[in-house]
Chain A
Amino acid sequence: MAIASGVVLGTLARYWMMRRDFRQYPSYPHAVVNHLALGFVAATLGAVAVPAIVAKEYTAVTFLALASTQFREVRSMEREMLGSLEKSEMVPRGNDFIEGIARTFEARNYLVMFIALVTSAVTFRFGVLFGVLSAIVTAFAIKRLMKGKIIKDIANVRSAEFRFEGPNLFIEDVHIMNLGLPEIREIYYKRAKALILEPFDDNAREILANAGQRQAIAHDAALMLGIHRDVDTPEFTPLLRRNTETGRIGMIIVPIEPDEKCLVEAVKNVPVLESAQSNPLASGAGRCASD
């Protein structure tokens, strides 16, 4: 009974984790099956651990070690798949984003293992009802703990005005790029939207300086609002450029949906990538330099 409840609730937890994240999941039915199957394996391994220990079958626990090698495969599988799809994306995710997604996929299997372990242990000791309750509590606790920061937490995002000085595109004081063709500039005047991201502190400034993080923002915004470009018009690739004096970021995008509020919302909800995280304010030199 303990094992069964651990397996079932663990697998359900894997499904729940997949559902709640629309961005990170490409939602192909076959990929869903892949990850559910792996979630099932993880749940089984987690669920048998406690009953095995109680039955003094200590060798069974070594299976957990086997599992970790298996799940490392998941990471490289996701990395390879998303990497090979990069070329066909209008706005690529960038390596940093892909690495973050792949790592999340790996980590979620360990989390499933943990949920299954807790569930089976509690079921074993207190019965099924408490087992189910413990699974729900653990799942919500994990959701809370694993929730990374989003852009809204580190920077103020607001819409801004852009202008052309000759062929050069500026958003307030941030130079974005040089666009030579008048007809392209015309389309920009008609359709483009500009944003400014103002980092709250020095840590945030360094996060936004990361080119991979900026690529992730461009990708997510383009995905949600649609992008007015095709393979032969690279001029309309969304760009985020930095004012090196202030660390402020200017973003220009030519969306299909010209809704500024939705654009700000989309950018605010982009996750802060683990690889972009940096914390200069935690160091003495960083704090001293910040004032």
Chain B
Amino acid sequence: MQITITKMIMAAVTCEERKIHGVPVFYARDEEEQERMAVMLSRVMEAVAHDMGNGVYIIVKH
């Protein structure tokens, strides 16, 4: 039997330090890099990047 994790935040990407706790955080230099990192992470994790609206992307496996 294969078990997969779903409905879980795999990682978060942000430019602002000390904003996120409890999940793997990736810090970007600017918005452009943040976007690139979010694309990369979502492809690698086969997950979806969601915009929290406060400068944070979360990568969620659905």
A-B interface contact total, Cβ < 8 Å: 44
Per-residue CB contact flags for chain B residues 26-62 toward chain A (1 = under 8 Å, else 0) read: 0000000001001100111011111101000110001
Contact check, A180 vs B50: say whether CB atoms are below 8 A apart: yes
In the complex, are the beta carbons of A181 and B35 less than 8 A apart?
yes
The answer to whether B46 and A234 touch across the interface, beta carbons within 8 angstroms, is yes
The residues of B that contact A232 with a CB separation of less than 8 Å are 42-44, 46
Given A180-B57, A181-B38, A182-B35: A233 and B49 within 8 A (CB)? no
Q: Among residues 222 to 272 in chain A, which have CB atoms less than 8 Å away from a CB atom of chain B?
A: 231-235, 237
Q: Which residues of B are in contact with A by a Cβ distance under 8 Å? A: 2, 35, 38-39, 42-44, 46-51, 53, 57-58, 62
- List 9 A-B pairs, Cβ < 8 Å: A166-B51, A178-B51, A180-B57, A181-B38, A181-B42, A181-B51, A232-B44, A234-B46, A237-B62
- Count contacts on A: residues with CB < 8 A to the other chain: 16
Q: Which residues of A contact B38 (CB under 8 A)?
A: 180-181
Cα–Cα distance between A234 and B59 once the two chains are bound (Å): 11
Q: A87-B2, A180-B57, A231-B46 are in contact. Are A167 and B51 (CB under 8 A)?
A: yes
Bound Cα distance from A183 to B2, whole angstroms? 32
Q: Nearest A residue to B45 by beta-carbon distance?
A: A232
Shortest distance between the CB of B26 and any CB in chain A (Å): 14
User: Which 5 A-B residue pairings sit nearest by Cβ, starting from the closest?
Assistant: A180-B51, A167-B51, A180-B49, A178-B50, A232-B43
A107 near B: Cβ within 8 Å?
Answer: no
